[in-house]
């Protein structure tokens, strides 16, 4: 499984975070079969943490 992130500074003190992943390999396939899918939930948790850290 490969995962990449790209962050961009935007006007108005905003930041854009783009993420892309491959779901290749046994660990990724196992995650993809779980319900609810932990990958998007993990991304949301990660983004929430970034927002909390940036807000301090």
Contacts of residue 12, defined as CB under 8 A and 6 or more positions apart, other chains included, come to none
Residue 52: per-residue pLDDT:
93
Report the C-alpha gap between 50 and 56 in whole angstroms. 10
Would you give per-residue pLDDT tens digits along the chain (56 residues)? 788 889 999 999 898 999 888 888 888 888 889 998 888 888 889 889 988 998 88
**E strand intervals along the chain:** 3-10, 14-21
- Whole-model pTM: value is 0.64
CB 42 within 8 A of CB 20: no
Output the pLDDT for position 48: 93
pLDDT of 41 reads 87
Residues 15, 12: Cα–Cα separation, whole Å: 9
pLDDT at 8: 95
- For residue 56, what pLDDT is reported? 87
């Amino acid at each position: 499984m490969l995962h990449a992130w790209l962050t961009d500074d935007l006007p108005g003190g905003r930041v854009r975070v783009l993420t892309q992943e491959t779901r290749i390999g046994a660990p990724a396939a196992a995650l993809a079969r779980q319900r609810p899918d932990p990958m998007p939930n993990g991304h949301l948790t990660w983004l929430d943490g970034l927002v909390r850290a940036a807000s301090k």
